[in-house]
Structures are given as structure tokens and as C-alpha cells.
Amino acid sequence: MLKLLSLLVPLASASIIQYQANVSAISSEWNATSNSSSSLSLNRPAIHFTPDKGWINDPNGLWYDAKEEDWHLYFQYNPESPHWDLPLYWGHAVSKDLTVWKDHGVSFGTKNESDGAFSGSMVIDYNNTSGFFNASVDPRQRVVAVWTLAEPDKQTQLLSYSHDGGYHFTEYEGNPVLDIDALNFRDPKVFWYDGAEDSEGHWIMAVAIPQKFSVAFYSSPDLKEWTLESDFTDKGFVGYQYECPGLVKVPYVRNTTFASTPNSNVTSSSPLSFNSTESWINSTSAAWNSSSVWNSSHTNSTLLNSTMFGNETVLQEALEESGFAWVLFLSINPGAPQGGSVNEYFIGDFNGTHFHPFDDQTRFVDLGKDFYAMQTFFNTPNQKDVFGIAWASNWQYGNHVPTTPWRSSMSLVRNFTVTEFNPNPNTTELVLSGVPVIDYSELRKNGTTYSIEDKQLSVSDSEVIELEDPTGVFEFSLEWSVNATNVKNYVFSDLSLYLQGDKHADEYLRLGFEANAAAFFIDRGHSNVPFVEENPFFTQRLSVNNPPSDYTSNTYDVYGVVDRNIIELYFNNGTVTSTNTFFFTTGNYISSIILETGVDDVYEVSNLRVNQFYAD
Amino acid sequence: MLKLLSLLVPLASASIIQYQANVSAISSEWNATSNSSSSLSLNRPAIHFTPDKGWINDPNGLWYDAKEEDWHLYFQYNPESPHWDLPLYWGHAVSKDLTVWKDHGVSFGTKNESDGAFSGSMVIDYNNTSGFFNASVDPRQRVVAVWTLAEPDKQTQLLSYSHDGGYHFTEYEGNPVLDIDALNFRDPKVFWYDGAEDSEGHWIMAVAIPQKFSVAFYSSPDLKEWTLESDFTDKGFVGYQYECPGLVKVPYVRNTTFASTPNSNVTSSSPLSFNSTESWINSTSAAWNSSSVWNSSHTNSTLLNSTMFGNETVLQEALEESGFAWVLFLSINPGAPQGGSVNEYFIGDFNGTHFHPFDDQTRFVDLGKDFYAMQTFFNTPNQKDVFGIAWASNWQYGNHVPTTPWRSSMSLVRNFTVTEFNPNPNTTELVLSGVPVIDYSELRKNGTTYSIEDKQLSVSDSEVIELEDPTGVFEFSLEWSVNATNVKNYVFSDLSLYLQGDKHADEYLRLGFEANAAAFFIDRGHSNVPFVEENPFFTQRLSVNNPPSDYTSNTYDVYGVVDRNIIELYFNNGTVTSTNTFFFTTGNYISSIILETGVDDVYEVSNLRVNQFYAD
């Protein structure tokens, strides 16, 4: 039986400049296509970047302009039609808050229609190592794009530079800067590696030799001359090919709430709460001061010598002292175990030329189906944070998802750290944690909060939260505990959330936890949209391993963001995540959140909170 | 438009003793439960082992009796009800041909109802190293079970031995033989490792310390005293825990049709054909002669010294000379990337104490959802073949699948080799190949063969094969080529097989290949069975990366076996496989095989053959 929850009083809705800006974009887009056969234009995400029109895939060239305090996102872009095709361009978008983006259209392309400006990165050449800049260009805006020119029979690495803060680019006349006469050789991600105190430092490029399952590391003093230093080959899950590598120095945040010794009791980590990411923008807004800041904050050193590998105590001490670990990100497509595209990562050390993972594990960044080609920003305000964006689609079906006149969105921005995690009660290991970076300050102020607290669930007593005036955009957090004594292994023992459409109740997302599978599931198959019903690669049912946040009390938590046609789920402080698109009929926004169980005396929900965001 | 294919004339159906035996078992089971609420008893697999009644999971103690020429399969067994519960027993089944099995019920259990006789293996103690045997027991039948006693607070390794060829067991009075005071410590798999010419040789046990992500290797001269030699820890994809390890010497079969140098043209491997496994039983039926055969065929040596790792040419030469590689099998549950349970493997070398993988890749044995806890036989007729069986279910939903009075089947037996494979046109790597071992000699003789050859597919011209008197049991092979010139990247370009039910056409399996995704999909969601419609872990849509068998001609192949409620797919000679259960309404056996495409001028089917097996 369902009963209606008494709702908290909605807060007053006021106009928010940032949010409204995007809503205006949605409206104009909708007007532009209202005569088309589109049935899903209204379902455009509000706080995930989408292009006004056309096709996008990999995020490219991410950087933060400390002078203008702007975040720059470039992306693989076909402005002509909502599917991948040549010629492929770099598109460009800018944001003040990493939440709302302004689409600036095409940034640059290639000379020939049969070529593509494939993926790459941007660096800030603060000290003008390239010679592309003079004093008229603020050091904080000396951006150079390093990208792949894909010709029909060859892929090479090129440079383009901007004198106006990333809006217009000039191709370096000495291009290509790296040509190994290879059909597949792409996706350069470049960063500056500071040398030891008596050495100069140099640029490092991680670039994929996709079908050799290899990441090559090149060094350069000036971005123009590159020397092969090492390679990282035949590691992890390889699928068909490697793409989009990225080597990044990621802050290490020791999680003292996780056990460092086997079998000791562990206590809860802080679950993602409504407030946990509130202050990111302040904490990271330290101004860029001078090149000395750059150097001091980028002091690199080798964490460990080879004898230290495999010694957990030594490793933990080294990480605490250094404050970071190196993470190699890698994209695999096709051939992901769950189908199509997937991102994996390796945690280890880098000595300026060679990357050495701490172990031989295969770890995935996100276990949903719509998170690929993740790239991190060159530069963040405090010079330490690592923020990343992924393409929120899958090559198995990205060209067929029912949106128009655009196709694909980016993921939310994630703030990455390396931390401890207990995948089971007897092991502590290093993992990547990624939590969403959203400027909630205005969104929440005008939203409505709904809440259920300390609720013992039973079969006959469900709970419903009804969202008034559904917008399709909300966040939620759920904390629950399991009374394992009452779980019978042969009884399907679920706690389920049904996120039901307003206009068509037969369209819903089902999310939930099942105690015997110890997994959290998502079912996005309950939709009347033909693409969902028919495309054999659009996996309806997905699940992730879901260990407790606290093994002693058997407590679990999930934080989710729903944004029109995408849902991002974060478990255990972002150490496990699952990002998936979903598609309902036009404008059928989620309005009911139904909390149910199929078993008595198993689940207690300490907190279910929902915050709907209003556009105006 | 569909058009009916003119069928080949069915061969006469004659009674087959082996096959009929199983059909009798089905009939008696069905009679026994015809008054129950069962709706799926008739869907019991015919050539996959299922218990007459009760629950099964991991295969255990696999061995071949060379005296009686019997194959022995034991398994985790709850005879009392069709779900996992304590006390858990070892069940027992016997086969003459690895195709039809006779269920012998409970083999042995534990003394206490709160305990479980958990997984383990059997060895033939030919030379009576244990002292359990006297001259009255034929050396070929001196079987010792090494298994895990799971008590509420501890898991230890025990021995039981049989004096009657595996039908009755006596517990060793000195049990446990291995106790490290651990809550999780299980699934011993034991084999004999021959020493160098001047040494004795010893037993090696691979056993899981599940939540430490560790496989421990112990040695013993007599199966009673065990010495820790090494461990294999923190490798591959780890999920929640490791289970069911197995270290096996697998024949290396050089695949000369695959490129050994990058970018060279490669020619087709032999796809699995109707005849490829026909002769296995003859080729492997060399009689067991004496202990000298044992010793000569089990000569172990270290393939490589450490400096040879990473040198492909040296590796290939060493493998060709030795004729084998070592493979470590490992089971992960929960937490597989595709949800729940999965098997992975590592190819490498073993020197008698330490296993060293050739690379740091993560490889999965089967990418379907229903293939877990794979174990290999101790002994095969020619002393070299490696045959394995997996549990054909998934812990996410195994306790809920709609069969009664039994639950779960085993997989088909697979014959494993290590061989070369081209995951893309530019890489050759070692992989495991597993092809089904079925005694087709009688099954095919009485079956009906249907065939389509050299068919250019078009949207308006589908093909249908109608199986007469459908039995629910058939094999098929499909070979197709792709005209890549005509593939548009933004057009969904499928070749689909619809395997449609006879009584309810709205129940069907959809299989197929899509050229842009370069993947083969299976959709098992089109069913009216409530379990299929509702269980959120029963992933309907699955896919596997599907490289061509011949990159030059863009030719692909798949071989499949459908057996009532399970389908096993083998690609590229079993180097990629996907095993999945499916559930239709009672007795709604597949009768129509519809071959379609959604695009013109892309697909040519050189051969689609279907062989239905008749029961009588």
C-alpha cells in the first residue's frame, strides 16, 4: 500500500541568473525545433553540458582560465548533424561554475573535409616554452592545444595556440610535432612535470597507440620536439583498443575511517550529503599568483623506489607525506565487459619518464554504461584539485539516442581524490573517489526539499514523495541499514525506489538494493520510447557491487543526480559510481519517488532526501 | 517480408540409448511434479547436467576414471530444496560421454547441520602417497577429495577418500589437513606437479583467501602435510572476493592463421563447424597404461626464466617447444563488471612453487552472465586435454530462476587450449580457447539439418527456418561477411537472428551483430515469464566484442548450442564465449529461426546451419 508523505513546505522560487541562462538556451532550442519530428527536445539536461545542436563525443582541451575565472570545455564536434561524421571539429563551451555552460560552437577544425580534428588536450604554457606568445598575452591564458589530426591513412599530433584566451586558435606552422607514420596514434594529454630542484622540468605527453594496447610517454622542453621516454603496455582490461589516456597527479586524502589492518572494526565514511560539495568553489578559488605558485604546487618527486612497492605501510606513509598519487586514466572501446565503452584507471607512481602502478589490478572509473573518454582539467584554482569530465554516452548506441537537434551530453564534473576503501571487511585498498562538482548554491535555494527519516520499511507500508511541478532535475540521497539476521538467502530482498513519470506513470526508473546480491541495481527499461524498447545494446538493467559504508552497522548510502535524461549515482563517497542515460516520452518528468520493499523487518531508511531544482 | 525456406529433408529419427536415458529422466521428473505449480519443468536442459531435484552450484571434484571410462562430476548440492542452504552436500553425477549425465544424488556431507561441505577438487593418488589405499584399489580409481569444511566461524581443508571408484567416501581421521584459523579460506584445487628428473614431485594446492584477493599455493608430498609456497595476490579484476582458483597446464596450440607480426594480413581461423568436435572422443581415448604414462605426460619444467618475459618471440618458441602454458582460473563474486559472478584467467608459467603471469592483463573466460566457478577435470584420457565445467547461473539471481523441482544447470564441458588471437588487426596475443565437448555422434544422426547458404541479405528479404516438431535442443552455426563500404556509422546496421517460440511467438531470443558497435548482442528479455520481466538483475541485453575471424575478408562466425533454457555462444573458435540462461513459458520451444537485416547491401551470410536434436 502506498501512502502520501506529508511534504516539507517548498521554498519560494526565485529567478537564478545562472540557471535561467541555461533554461533560456533550452527554450530557444525548443522553439527552433518545435516544428520538427523531435519528441525529446524538452528532455535536454539542464546541468549537464549539451551542444545547442549537432553531435559531440570526447571532452577535449579542458583548462581553467585563472585570469577570467572561466572554465573551458572543448569537445569532439560535428555541428552539421546529430551523429558522428567527418569533418570533425573541436567545439567549445565556457562556464563560470562548472554547472551551467555556454556553447560557443566550433573552435577549430581541419583543412580537409576528409580529416578530423580528433581528441587532445590543452596546456597553459605559462613560461612560453613554445615561443608562441609575447608579453601581450597574460601568462595565465597562454593556451596551446595538442591534438590529433586524423587523416584517412595517418594520425599525427599537432599544436594550435590561442592569443585570446581560448576563443581563436592558430595552427603551428611546424605541424605535425609528432608523426610515427601510424594509422592509429591519438589523443595526446599533456602536462608539465617539474624536475628535481636542480633540473628544468619538462612537458610529458601520454598518447595512445590504440591497437597495440599501449600508452606512450613522450617528453618535450617546448611542446615541439618530443622524445619517447617509456610506454605502458598490455595492462588491465584491453578490449579492442586503448583510447584517451591521461596521467594525472591526484590528491591523496587519507580516509581514516577505513581500516588499515585486516579484520578490525571499521566505521562509516561520510556519505555524500547535500552539503558536502557546497563549498568546493570557495575552497578551490585561490587566485593564481605567479609562476612561483606554479612551481611550488607542482613539485614532483618519486613517491617510492621499487623496493617499496607491495609494502602497504611504506606506501601509506609515502602518500601521506607527498599528498598525492599518480593516476593513469585509460579508455577502452569497444569491448567493455558491460558492453561498448568504459574508463579504467591505475594508481601508481611516475618518476618523470616512467609510470609504475602500485599493483596489477584492473579498476573501472564508473560502472554505468554512459561514462567514457574522461579527461581532466589542466589547472584548477588551487593548483591541486583534479576535476574531470566524461562523455555521457556509449559508442554502442550513442549515434541512435532519441534527442534532437543535438546528440550526447557530458557528465557532471567530478572532483577526484585517491583514498582508502574497504571492498570487503578484510581488505583496505587505494581507490579513486570522484564526487560531483556542482554549484548548488543557487539551485538549492530555489528548490523544494522533501524528506523521509528513520523509517522501518515493510511490505504493506510504502512511502511516496510527490514532486510538485516536476522539472526533471533533482538530487537525492538515501541512507539505509540492513538487518542481516532477517535476510533469507533464497528470498528476493529488495529496497526499491521507483522514479515515476508525471504524465505517463508506466515510464519509470527502478533503483534499488538487494541484500543477497549485495548490489545496487538500476533498471532504465520501463519506457515507451522506441529506442529504449528496441536497441539491443541499450542495456536496461545494470548493477554495481555495493559494499556498506559501515560494515559494523550494515549501513549503506547513495547520492544521485537526475537531470532530464541522465542519472548519476555515487556510492561510498564516490568510490563506486554508475552513470546512465535514460529516455522517457517528451516532457514526462519524474514526479513520484516511491520507496518500497518486498520484505519485512530488513530495511530501515534513516534518511531519504530529495531536492528538486526549479528553473524559475 | 519473410519467406519460408525450403527445408532439407529430415533424417529418420531412431532411438538413441544415451539421449533417451536423459529424456526418461526428464519424463519421470515431470511426472513427479505434474501436480505442482511448476510451469517450467518441461524446460529442463537435455545435454546440460541438472540434478533430479534440489539446488546445485559450483562443480566440484571433477575426474576421469580410466578403468571404468567414466566421467565424474560432483557439485555443491542442497537436495532438500531448490535454493542454497545449509547443510550443503556434495552431489554426484556420472557420464560416459560428457553429454548425458546420471544423477547419483548425495555423495557426502558434514556432521553438523550448520556446516557446509564447500567446494573442492579430487585427485587420483595413483602412487598412494596418502597411504589411504591398498592393492585392492585400482591405481586409476584411488580418488581423494580435498574440500572445504565451512563451519560458522572457520573454513578448513579436509580429505575424504573412496575405495569404490568415487561412489562412497571416508573422511580422513586426521582432518582438517589445513587450518589457518580463517573465516574465509576455501575451494582447494589440487594437482600433481612432477619434479625435475632428479626430484620427487609433489602435490600443489591452489586455495582462495577470498577477501584478501589472494590465491595461496601450498605443496605436499602426501596430501596431508601442506607447506605454503607462494601467493598470487591483488591481480586482475577483484570485485568483492576471489573464489574457486585452479592452476592448470593447458595445451598450447599455435594458431598459424593469426598474424605474428603487426599489420600483416591475416587469414581465417577455422570456425567451429559441425564436425570440429566430432572426433574428440576418439582422439582423447588413449587408455591409461601405467604410472610411466602419468609421469611422462606430466613432465613439468619452467617455460621461461624471468628475462624472457615480455619477449614475444622467445615466448612463442618456448610454448611451441613445451606444448603448454599454465593457466590460473579464478572466480569473482559478487562484483563482476557485468553484474554478479564471473570467471577470469591468467596465462603464465609455474615453476613448482610460484605462478608468474606473462602479462598484467585481465581476461574473462566467458562474458555471459551464467558461467561461474569453472573447474577442470583431474585426468583426461590422453593425460593432456583440459576439460572444464562451470555453474551456469549467477549469484545475483540463481536462487530465483523459475525451474522446479531443481535449480541451476552446469555448463557444457569445454576443451581448453591456449592459442593466438587477434583482438584487433594490429595485435596478436595469447588467449584461452574453449570449445564445447559434446558427443554429437548419436544426437546428430537422428536430428534434422536445415541450411541457408550464400545469401545476400536485404531489408525486404528475410529468411525463416522452421524447425519441425521442436524439441528445444539444437545447435547452429552462422558465418557472415560485412561489406564495410556500405556501412554508415550513424545507421543501426544489424544482422539479427530471432529464435522464436513455437506456442507463443512473442517469446523469442534476439541475437545479432551490429557493424558499428562491432559487437554481437543477445537479448533474452522477450518473455512472459514473471522472473524475466521483473528480476532487476536478470540482464536482458548482453553483448560481446566480436572481432572478425578474418580481417581481410571481414568474415565472422558464431557457433551456438541452445538447450531448452540455456544458450552457449562460441566466437572465433571459442576465444570469445557468452553463456546465458533464458526462460520461456512452459514447453514453448524455439521453432522459428528468422534471419533479418535492417540494412541493404551490407551482410552476406555464407552459411547458416541448424541441427535440431531429437529425443526419440
pLDDT in tens, A128-138: 999 999 999 99
- A209/A342 same-domain check: yes
| Preceding omega of B405 cis (within 30 degrees of 0) | yes
- Would you say residue B114 lies in a domain? yes
Check: complex ipTM more than 0.85: yes
Burial readout B533-561 (b: 16 or more C-beta within 10 A, e: otherwise): eebbbbbbbbbbbbbbbbbeebbbbbbbb
pLDDT score recorded for residue A586: 87
Instruction: Choose, from B52, B58, B65, B97, the residue flagged as catalytic.
Output: B58
Cβ contact, residue pair B518, A334, below 8 Å: yes
pLDDT, mean over chain B: 86
Query: A15-19, A603-607, B102-106, B600-604: which range is least confident on average?
Result: A15-19
* pLDDT at position B448: 84
pLDDT of residue A97: 94
Quickly state the pLDDT bin for B280 (edges 50, 70, 90).
very low
pLDDT averaged over every residue in chain A: 86
Give the distance from residue A397's alpha carbon to the nearest chain B alpha carbon, in angstroms.
8
Q: Which three cell numbers stand for residue A289?
A: 599568483
Residue A268 counted as domain residue:
no
Q: Which three cell numbers stand for residue B263?
A: 599489420
Mean pLDDT in residue range A39-65: 90
Q: B369 contacts in A (CB within 8 Å)?
A: none
CB pairs < 8 Å spanning A and B: 193
Q: How many distinct structural domains can be found in chain B?
A: 2
Q: For the residues B138-157, what does the mean pLDDT come to?
A: 98
Strand order in the sheet with B227-233: B186-193, B202-209, B214-220, B227-233
DSSP label of A252: B
Query: Is residue A485 one of the residues assigned to a domain?
Result: yes
Is residue A465 located within the same domain as residue A331?
no
| CB-closest option in A397, A535, A543 to B537 | A543
pLDDT number for residue A367: 96
SS3 content of chain B, % helix, strand, coil (to 5): 10, 45, 45
Give contacts of B 358-397 with A, CB under 8 A. Answer: 359-362, 364, 367, 395-397
B184 → chain A, closest CA residue: A426
Search chain A and give the residue with CA nearest B214: A427
B167 touching chain A per CB within 8 A: no
pLDDT band for A315, please (50, 70, 90 cuts): confident
CB B413 within 8 A of CB B388: yes
Same domain, B404 and B455: no
* Chain B environment of A84 (Cβ under 8 Å): 489-490
Q: Which residues of A are less than 8 Å from B361 in CB distance?
A: 234-238
CB contact under 8 A, A240 and B525: no
pLDDT at A230: 96
Same domain, B373 and B450: no
What pLDDT does residue B266 have?
Answer: 28
Mean pLDDT, residues A106-116 taken together: 97
pLDDT at residue number A157: 98
pLDDT digits (tens, 9 = 90+) for B62-81: 999 999 999 999 999 999 99
* Domain co-membership, A69 together with A157: yes
Query: How far does the CA of residue B339 sit from the closest CA of chain A (Å)?
Result: 6
d(CA B254, CA B185): 37
Interface contact B214, partner A, CB < 8 A: no
The single-letter code of the amino acid at A140 is R
Find, in chain A, the residue whose alpha carbon is nearest to that of B358. Answer: A234
> Mean pLDDT throughout B459-479?
94
Percentage of chain B exceeding pLDDT 70: 83
Q: What is the pLDDT of residue A444?
A: 75
Domain extent at residue B548: 440-612
Looking at the predicted structure, is the pLDDT value of residue A366 above 60? yes
Tell whether B53 and B182 lie within a shared domain. yes
How far does the CA of residue A443 sit from the closest CA of chain B (Å)? 33
> What pLDDT is recorded for position A294?
28
User: Residues A232, A207: contact at Cβ < 8 Å?
Assistant: no
Rounded to whole angstroms, the Cα distance separating B343 from B414 reads: 14
Please answer yes or no on whether A236 and B361 come within 8 Å at the CB atom.
yes
Does the distance separating the beta carbons of A539 and B541 come in below 8 Å? yes
Backbone angles phi, psi at B29, to 5 degrees: -65, -45
Tell me if A8 is assigned to some domain. no
Contact A514 B525 (CB under 8 A): no
Amino acid at position A293, single letter: V
Q: How far apart are CA B564 and CA B44, in angstroms?
A: 6
**Mean pLDDT of the B511-517 span:** 98
Pick from B70, B219, B222: which is nearest to B161 by CA?
B222
Is residue B264 in a domain?
no
Query: Which stretch of B20-29, B317-326, B351-360 has the lowest confidence by average pLDDT?
Result: B20-29
- B24, part of any domain: no
Is the residue at B4 inside a domain? no
Split at pLDDT 50, 70, 90, the class of B13 is very low
CB contact under 8 A, A234 and B490: no
pLDDT, residue B440, reads 82
Inter-chain touch A211–B236, beta carbons under 8 Å: no
Residue range B409-431: mean pLDDT, rounded? 95
- Identify the pLDDT of residue B586: 87
> Under an 8 A CB cutoff, do A519 and B490 touch?
no
Same-domain status, A406 and A472: no
Å between A457 CA and nearest CA of chain B: 20
- Min CA distance, A46 vs chain B (Å)? 26
Under 8 Å CB-to-CB from A341, ≥6 apart: which residues?
Answer: A331, A332, A333, A334, A369, A372, A373, A393, A394, A395, A396
Tell me the C-alpha to C-alpha distance, in Å, between residue A36 and each of A19, A29, A39, A398.
Answer: 26, 11, 8, 21
Of B84, B537, B541, the CB nearest to A517: B537
Contact yes or no for A567/A48 (Cβ under 8 A): no
Q: Does A37 touch chain B (CB under 8 A)?
A: no
Is it the case that residue A300 has pLDDT exceeding 90?
no
Pairing between strand A406-407 and A54-65?
parallel
Task: Answer whether residue B271 shows pLDDT above 70.
Answer: no
Altogether, the residues listed in chain A come to a count of 616
* Cα B390 to Cα B409: distance, rounded to the nearest angstrom: 9
Q: Map residue B20 onto helix, strand or coil.
A: helix
C-alpha cell at B593: 529461426
Residue B150 has a pLDDT of 98
Q: Tell me whether B485 touches chain A (CB under 8 Å).
A: no
pLDDT tens by residue, B552-593? 999 999 999 999 999 999 999 999 999 999 999 989 999 999
pLDDT digits (tens, 9 = 90+) for A171-228: 999 999 999 999 999 999 999 999 776 678 999 999 999 999 999 999 999 999 999 9
DSSP code of residue A306:
G
Q: Give contacts of A 95-154 with B, CB under 8 A.
A: none
Q: Does A405 share its domain with A469?
A: no
d(CA B601, CA B132): 68
The whole-number average pLDDT for the span B355-360 is: 94
For A236, other C-beta atoms within 10 Å of its C-beta total 25
B535 in a structural domain: yes
Residues 6+ apart with CB under 8 A from B153: B183
pLDDT on residue A443: 82
Q: Which of A186, A213, A230, A343 to mutate to test the interface with B (most CBs of B within 10 A)?
A: A213
Q: Quick one: which H or E segment has residue A31?
A: helix A17-33
Cis peptide before B87 (omega within 30 of 0): yes
Closest CA to A343 of A205, A209, A245: A245
What pLDDT, on the 0 to 100 scale, is given for residue B83? 96
User: Where do we find the cell 556553447?
Assistant: A103
Identify whether A234 is a catalytic site residue.
no
Residues B185 and B301 in one domain: yes
Q: What is the dihedral of CA A513, A514, A518, A520, to 10 degrees?
A: -30
Q: Is A490 on the interface with B (CB under 8 A)?
A: yes
Which of A238, A396, A525 is the closest to B423 by Cβ? A238
Q: What is A493-555 written as a DSSP string?
A: -EEEEEEEESS-TT-EEEEEEETTTTEEEEEEEE---HHHHH-TTS-SEEEEE---SBTTTTE
Average pLDDT score over residue span A331-344: 97
- What cell does B213 get? 584477493
**Structure confidence at residue A41 as a pLDDT band (50, 70, 90):** low
For B115-137, what is the mean pLDDT? 98
Statement to judge: residues A378 and A455 lie in one domain: no
Q: Could you tell me the CA-to-CA distances from B400 to A21, A501, B210 in Å, in that order?
A: 50, 29, 25
Looking at the structure, tell me whether residues A379 and A468 fall in a common domain: no
Cα gap B133→B129, rounded to integer Å: 9
Of chain A, the percentage scoring pLDDT greater than 90 comes to 78
- For residues B88 and B157, give the distance between their C-alpha atoms in angstroms, rounded to a whole number: 15
- Give mean pLDDT, residues B419-436: 94
- What's the rounded Cα separation, in Å, for the pair B430 and B318? 13
Domain-terminating residue out of B411, B426, B459: B411
Which residue from B515, B517, B544, B521 is spatially nearest to B602, judged by alpha carbons? B515
Mean pLDDT on A599-615: 92
Same domain, B493 and B393: no
- A398 interaction partners in chain B (CB closer than 8 Å): none
CATH label of the domain that carries residue A304: 2.115.10.20
> What phi, psi does A282 have (nearest 5°)?
-75, -45
Does A305 score more than 60 pLDDT? no
Q: In Å, how far are A314, A351, B61, B294, B435 from B379, measured between CA atoms? A: 45, 49, 11, 9, 18
Q: What is the pLDDT of residue B442?
A: 75
Which candidate in A366, A404, A492, A522 is best for mutational testing of the B interface (most B CBs within 10 A)?
A492
| pLDDT tens, position by position, A537-570 | 999 999 999 999 999 999 999 999 999 999 999 9
Beta-strand pair B406-407/B413-424: unpaired
- CATH number for the domain that contains residue B581: 2.60.120.560
Q: Which whole number is the average pLDDT over B364-387?
A: 97
Task: Tell me how far apart the alpha carbons of residues B269 and B570 are, in angstroms, rounded to a whole number.
Answer: 13
Kindly give, in sequence order, each residue whose CB lies less than 8 Å from that of residue A67, ignoring residues fewer than 6 positions away: A138, A140, A141, A165, A288
Pick from A123-132, B233-242, B313-322, B417-426: least confident: B313-322
A243 touches chain B (CB under 8 A): no
Residue A391: pLDDT band with limits 50, 70, 90: very high
- Asked if B212 is an interface residue toward chain A (Cβ–Cβ < 8 A), one would say yes
- Which residues in chain B have their CB less than 8 angstroms from residue A367's CB? 337
Q: Do B543 and A523 touch (CB under 8 A)?
A: no
Q: Which residues of B touch A424 (CB under 8 A)?
A: 211, 240-241
* Tens of pLDDT, residues B502-511: 999 999 999 9
